[in-house]
Amino acid sequence: MTKITAAITAVGGYVPQFVMTNKMLEDLVETNDEWITTRTGIKERRVLKKEEGEGTSYLAIKAAQDLMEKKGLDASEIDLVIVATATPDSMVASTAAFVASEIGAVNAFAYDLLAACSSFLFGMSTVAGHIETGRYKKVLLIGADKMSSIIDYTDRTTCIIFGDGAGAVLFEPNTEGLGLQDEYLRADGSGRQFLGMEGGGSIMPATIESVTNKKHYIFQEGKTVFKFAVSNMADVAAKIMDRNNLTEEDVDWLVPHQANKRIIDATAKRMGVDESKVLMNIQRYGNTTSATLPLLLFDYEKQLKKGDNLVFAAFGGGFTWGSIYLKWAY
């Protein structure tokens, strides 16, 4: 029996119209363009304003529509919609269910997946499981986040980093040996004391006190998170290469989570991959959390060739991290 793998067959993306530059942030917090650029590699990020649209679902719908238009895909053919996100529209009603209905995916079931900045990476693994059963033919995975909704723009440790955006990919069965080849995914729950959001969940429901004390904004202990991210992202990417007998010449593209340019550089160095093979758009979008990986595919789609070896790597709050080896299918 021919082995079925899950291959990416289409990509779409969307970023909001409003561009927030480093210069603009100088008016909000004590920082400057040189400091931000040197430490993060970020020059600007996108922010979804209410006059353009509301919620993560708006971004996800736009990315999905872009993919469907480019692919000529009829939404009724989609079997499953997964929205990987850290900022769902609401805590109970699934953002993915709303997105599926809005794009016309009437024959799909849908659900959200939350693993902070690793959400899309973990979503790739989840999609592969669905495809490999043989029961699902077209699965839409969307990475989308409206990070501006949980950012305190008086906190310079977070407001300089995050932006809003969405990317979408279509997975379909493949029998040519292309698509997802291997994965190495990890989690360490002790990390939530260093990167997370205290308010809004079952431990700390919204109260006047929680809102007043800014408990509904994301927080991070920068030095600790940076240290964990550098070592763990590099480790799992190197492990995936070693496990699949990949040399630096075999890797055509590194697709790293866009959290910090120094983390990306460290990962590439550990892998021995030349910087010309590293996909990067952090300078334009900042860290869009669940959207970073699909937005890289969206921006670089025309440079990817059938059979190319891609190594994905991500690290997120929780902590969550991992790496995936995928062969490009078109």
Catalytic choice (22, 117, 174, 232):
117
Is 287 among the residues known to form the active site? yes
**Token couple for 304:** 């990817």
For residue 282, give every residue at least 6 positions away whose Cβ sits within 8 Å of its Cβ, in sequence order, or none.
40, 41, 42, 258, 259, 260, 261, 264, 292
What's the rounded Cα separation, in Å, for the pair 14 and 253? Answer: 22
What's the rounded Cα separation, in Å, for the pair 44 and 47? Answer: 10
Is 117 among the residues known to form the active site? yes
End-to-end Cα separation, the chain, in angstroms? 23
Q: Is 146 helix (H, G, I), strand (E, B) or coil?
A: strand
* C-alpha pair distances (Å), 132 with each of 3, 76, 141, 309: 8, 21, 15, 20
Tell me the one-letter amino acid at 101.
S
Catalytic choice (22, 159, 174, 257):
257
* C-alpha pair distances (Å), 137 with each of 8, 166, 170: 12, 23, 10
For residue 129, give every residue at least 6 positions away whose Cβ sits within 8 Å of its Cβ, in sequence order, or none.
none
Is 159 among the residues known to form the active site? no
Q: What is the number of other CB atoms lying within 10 angstroms of the CB of residue 308? A: 15
**Which conformational region is residue 78 in: left (phi greater than 0), alpha (psi within -120 to 50 degrees), or beta?**
beta
What is the H or E stretch that residue 142 is in? strand 139-146
Catalytic choice (22, 260, 287, 309):
287
Tell me the one-letter amino acid at 47.
V
Catalogue the active-site residues.
Answer: 117, 257, 287
